[in-house]
Amino acid sequence: MVRSATNAILFVLFCTLSITAGTSRGQTEARKVTLNISLPKAMFKGTPVPMNEPNIAKGRPKGQGRPVVKVPVGTKNLALKKAVTSNESLPVVGDLSMVTDGDKSGEDGHNVDIGFGKKWVQIDLGAKSTLSVIAVWHYHGQARAYRDSIVEVADDADFTKNARIIYNNDHDNSYGKGIGKDLGWVETSEGKIIHCPKNTVARYVRLHSQGNTSNDQNHYVEVEVYGIVGGAAASGATTLSPSGKSVLKIKYPMPMFRNTAVPKNEPNLEPTSKFIANRSQTIVVPNGTMNMARGKPVTSNKLRPATGKLAMVTDGDASGENGHNVDLGDGVKWVQIDLQAVASISAISLWHYHTSSRVYRDVIVRVSNDPDFVKYATVYNNDHDDSSGLGAGKDKGYVESHYGRLIECAGTVGRYVRLYSKGSNADTNNHYVEVEVYGRKLSGMSVKTKPVKVNTKARKKKKPVFEMERT
């Protein structure tokens, strides 16, 4: 009797829970609505697939309508009129604000052209939001496919916090951010709808590309980011990327010239095909990595620079304009930065004078734990014939541009960074615009220094000792 009563109670409870769960599922499904996206005027009929272009998705069968997209109630375009930045500070045509101005027209004059090579635009949504869909329109005045389209989101503008890639059609890793599994598409007035993974929370959206099937330029007409400010997912704690690493974000100065002429008769240069590819390098660094050189003391084997001040090397100004660099004169010259703490160094970004396309010779970068560099680690050396007397290196030379040179250091530990050079193909002088040292301070470590014997009888102050200049 008792067992029968117990079974009856359990049955009623099971039915109640089933009804409640079913109601909850029904309410959740009811909170989804169809996303209506207004489309611009179609610029051509049909969608011809560009010839010999790999990794392109097939078009919809004739007569088939656009897929229905469902999003949570309250979803809206969070990108409209929001601030846009780019790694191309001076667009060739148009203005960056056109990316979020609400105008999707494929006609000429309705897009921003940010030049050739690896380029990106970035949108600040103004607040962390739960994202559902991102709609992208490149130039669609003709049927073309934009290459290496990659979309990533993050919690901060430097993409060091919770950076994630949500779309990647770079099938051969030509962009350098990893091989993607998504298919490319042919541009039309319908744009491209990209679905964000469930519970995608971010404030910043960055879209990459590297030219298209018609030319090498990167064009953006409009980007719409559909989501809800805050949202249920945004209330949770922010997590770092699964690997504890993220892409290093470097702020580039304004370009001083458009093309990169390869200097003639200059030996040991990297292949011509890599000039463009290596301009905007991409590397992954541990979360928390920062520029430890900013504002730090700089010394040199040139006590009195020909022009400028040594402090300009770490003042945060990487401009290539005249008056924004220090000239150390001719011969083998070096600048040395004291990070004022022992650090694990991931990368060093170096700018010489970049108003014109020139090649600085015998560029050598070393890291040490003592200011005299008795012991050191060489992280870069393009002196192919030991003309500097510091040893021959295996690295290739490069052409200066506003992208500088990014040198990977793979966690090299040290407090001091010393950079050498010996003139350029333009003249014999050595110029430094800016040096950034990206790393993390290692806690509990200090630099040991040898005790100095002081002559108590001496009254005159001893002059500081520097390396002798070459004549």
Residue 147, classed as helix, strand or coil, is: coil
Of the given ranges (128-142, 312-326, 431-445), which has the lowest mean pLDDT?
Answer: 431-445
* Residue pair 354/399 in contact by the 8 Å Cβ criterion: no
* H or E element in which residue 345 lies: strand 333-351
What's the CATH fold of domain 32-57+68-245?
A: Jelly Rolls (2.60.120)
What global pTM score does this model have?
0.48
Q: Is the pLDDT of residue 12 over 60?
A: no
Say whether 274-441 and 32-57+68-245 share the same fold.
Answer: yes
Q: How confident is the model at residue 7 (pLDDT cuts 50, 70, 90)?
A: low
Boundaries of every domain in the chain: 32-57+68-245, 274-441
Of the given ranges (58-72, 113-127, 140-154, 366-380), which has the lowest mean pLDDT?
Answer: 58-72
Cα 285 from chain centroid?
11
Q: Evaluate the CA torsion angle 369, 371, 372, 378 in order and state its sign.
A: positive
Half-sphere exposure of 339 (CA within 13 A, CB side): 30
What is the predicted pLDDT for the residue at 17? 45
Percent of the chain past pLDDT 90, that is, above it, reads 61
DSSP 422: -
Q: Evaluate the CA torsion angle 143, 112, 171, 280 in order and state its sign.
A: positive
Q: Is the pLDDT of residue 201 over 70?
A: yes
What is the predicted pLDDT for the residue at 365? 98
* Averaged pLDDT for residues 147-169: 94
Of 43 and 373, more confident: 373
What is the predicted pLDDT for the residue at 265? 76
Q: How confident is the model at residue 233 (pLDDT cuts 50, 70, 90)?
A: low
Q: How confident is the model at residue 150 (pLDDT cuts 50, 70, 90)?
A: very high
Q: How many residues does the chain have?
A: 471
* H or E element in which residue 22 lies: helix 2-30
Please state the φ and ψ torsions of residue 11, each to the nearest 5 degrees. -65, -45
* Residue pair 160/238 in contact by the 8 Å Cβ criterion: no
* Averaged pLDDT for residues 422-442: 95
Two tokens, residue 315:
């003042």
Indicate the CATH number for domain 274-441. 2.60.120.260
